């Protein structure tokens, strides 16, 4: 095998259990050439002793060996050294045994006869998977000074900006408006802001404005006095009072109806509330954090959201990117959720599946990805490598394709939208002067007039 200047296995420690010297010696040499550190055992008992005395990232073992066979060595390794991954070497006659071994924890297997490059490639993939797991651990450690951020996983530039904003805004008293699609983790961010503020020792109270109709939402927020209405048999303390001294998080604020918006505005302006049926104003000391899944400014233009309330809430805007715009975070998130839901089992995902996961647009965002990992683990049975069809929805129409949610524009639609926007931008720049705009666009005035008519541009 030609030697490479790169060392793809640098830092990796490997134990090879193989009784055939014709296999063990050249394989060990190639692993060393690739930068790996390797010890070789000629039988299963020697391999077991080596595991007791050393620390290995990977055990490569033949299924059939003197002293202690590979499946027995696998079981002992999984029980006593769970951080050591196992790759099996097997002949054609024992493929069924190898597949069974994978169900009890083997990382992968390779068939005899094989090229050493086959095993080197598997080791490289394994090294990348371990790197992702370690990256998650480092991210949690790096964010350790920010309480609550260990649950928000990401290293993409978009998420680094989110972490920076949380660090900046958390110690202040400013109202924060978190924007982002459903499933992007808005409540996690709100909780992190609270946990890193001066109010961290006081309550964090979350309310979903879209889960209740207007009358019930007001009762939930402000509480009521005994006798305020027919079923008010006793006084009820509202969420604002329960959040006294701390933070209240109003999720889906875009679903709040206008009459309730008026009452919320008074709370923000005067820092007082009144229970339903009450007459005495009650002072509240709270920080208000809100979240929306739609553009509130657009709702203001449509008359569905109060402009004065919008500016009260939008003191510090904090935007959470959808998962499709930070695909580089998908592997990190996948292994984070595997660790969270795996109950101590080291499940794995092969490289091709990870690539499919990165390509999938995840319309449900991080929440959908977490659900997919939970589903894959539930359906894994004894296997430790999660299946692609459980992680990424397969396309019903295209072989080996992945399901793409409806709504993605065709290339023609994208070109039309881009052309319309560009013509509109040039017309605005030229203050509507069509001859100048046509000259900039490189088309005739007649052509410009036709396109303006087609696109309904004034």
CATH number of the domain within which 75 lies: 3.40.50.2300
Distance from the Cα of residue 442 to its chain's centroid: 45
Instruction: Output the CA torsion 225→227→232→235 (10° steps).
Output: 30
Q: Look up the CATH number of the domain holding residue 437.
A: 1.10.10.60
Task: List, as one string, the DSSP characters of 164-198.
Answer: HHHHHHTTS---EEEE--TTS-HHHHHHHHHHTST
Sorting pLDDT into bands at 50, 70 and 90, what band is 283? very high
pTM over 0.75: no
Q: Are residues 260 and 385 in the same domain?
A: no
Residues 387 and 442 in one domain: no
Query: Where among 342, 363, 391 does a domain terminate?
Result: 391
345, 284: one domain: no
Residue 36 shares a structural domain with residue 112: yes
CATH value at residue 346: 1.10.8.60
**What per-residue confidence (pLDDT) applies to 400?**
60
- Report the distance separating Cα 24 and Cα 16, nearest Å: 7
Q: Does some domain include residue 294?
A: yes
- Flag whether 353 is in a domain: yes
pLDDT score of 36:
93
Pairing of strands 287-292, 247-251: parallel
The mean pLDDT of 138-158, rounded to a whole number, is 68
Same domain, residue pair 188 and 291: yes
Query: 113, 138, 163 — which closes off a domain?
Result: 138
**402 in a structural domain:** no
How many angstroms separate the CA atoms of 217 and 8, rounded? 58
Residue 122 lies in a domain: yes
The answer to whether residue 140 scores a pLDDT higher than 80 is no
Domain-located, residue 123? yes
Does residue 308 surpass a pLDDT of 60?
Answer: yes
Q: Taking all residues of the chain, what is their mean pLDDT, rounded to a whole number?
A: 86
Residue 173 domain-assigned? yes
Q: How many domains does the chain have?
A: 4
Phi, psi of 110 (to 5 degrees): -135, 140
Residues 310 and 328 in one domain: no
- Which residue, 138, 161, 191, sits at the end of a domain? 138
* Pair (203, 265) in one structural domain: yes
Q: Is there a domain that residue 7 lies in?
A: no
Has residue 407 got a pLDDT over 60? no
Shared domain check, 33 and 120: yes
pLDDT band at 3 (very low <50, low <70, confident <90, very high): very low
Instruction: Assess whether 169 and 245 both reside in one domain.
Output: yes
Answer yes or no: is 5 within a domain: no
First and final CA of the chain: distance in angstroms? Answer: 68
Q: Which domain holds residue 346?
A: 324-391
């Amino acid at each position: 095998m030609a030697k490479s200047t790169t060392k793809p296995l640098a830092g990796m420690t490997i134990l090879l259990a193989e009784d055939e010297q014709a296999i063990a010696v050249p394989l060990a040499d190639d692993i060393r050439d690739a930068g790996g550190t390797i010890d070789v055992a000629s039988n299963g008992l020697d391999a077991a002793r080596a595991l007791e005395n050393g620390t290995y990232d990977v055990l490569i073992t033949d299924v059939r060996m003197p002293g202690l066979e590979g499946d027995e060595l696998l079981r002992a390794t999984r029980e006593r050294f769970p951080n050591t991954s196992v790759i099996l070497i097997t002949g054609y006659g024992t493929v069924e045994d190898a597949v069974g071994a994978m169900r009890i924890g083997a990382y992968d297997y390779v068939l005899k006869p094989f090229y050493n490059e086959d095993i080197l490639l598997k080791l490289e993939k394994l090294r990348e998977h371990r790197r992702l797991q370690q990256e998650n651990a480092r991210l949690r450690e790096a964010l350790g000074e920010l309480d609550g951020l260990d649950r928000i996983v990401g290293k993409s530039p978009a998420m680094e900006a989110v972490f920076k904003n949380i660090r900046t805004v958390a110690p202040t008293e400013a109202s924060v408006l978190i924007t982002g699609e459903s499933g992007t983790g808005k409540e996690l961010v709100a909780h992190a802001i609270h946990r890193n503020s001066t109010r961290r020792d006081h309550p964090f109270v979350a309310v979903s404005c879209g889960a209740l109709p207007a009358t019930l939402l007001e009762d939930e927020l402000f509480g009521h006095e005994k006798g305020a209405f027919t079923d008010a048999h006793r006084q009820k303390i509202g969420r604002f009072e329960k959040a006294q001294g701390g933070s209240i998080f109003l999720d889906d604020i875009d679903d709040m109806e206008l009459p309730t918006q008026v009452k919320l505005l008074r709370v923000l302006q005067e820092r007082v509330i009144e229970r339903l049926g009450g007459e005495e104003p009650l002072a509240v000391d709270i920080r208000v954090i809100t979240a929306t899944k739609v553009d509130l400014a657009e709702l203001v233009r449509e008359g569905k959201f109060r402009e004065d309330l919008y500016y009260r809430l939008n003191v510090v805007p904090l935007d959470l990117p959808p998962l499709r715009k930070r695909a580089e975070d998908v592997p990190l998130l996948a292994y984070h959720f595997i660790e969270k839901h795996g109950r101590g089992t080291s499940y794995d995902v092969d490289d091709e599946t990870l690539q499919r996961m990165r390509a999938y647009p995840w319309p449900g965002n991080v929440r959908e990805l977490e659900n997919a990992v939970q589903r894959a683990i539930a359906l894994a049975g004894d296997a430790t490598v999660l299946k692609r069809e459980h992680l990424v929805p397969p396309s019903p129409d295209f072989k080996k394709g992945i399901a793409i949610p409806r709504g993605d524009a065709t290339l023609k639609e994208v070109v039309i939208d881009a052309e319309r926007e560009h013509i509109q931008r040039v017309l605005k720049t030229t203050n509507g002067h069509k001859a100048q705009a046509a000259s900039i666009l490189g088309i005739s005035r007649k052509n410009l007039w036709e396109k303006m008519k087609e696109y309904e541009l004034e």
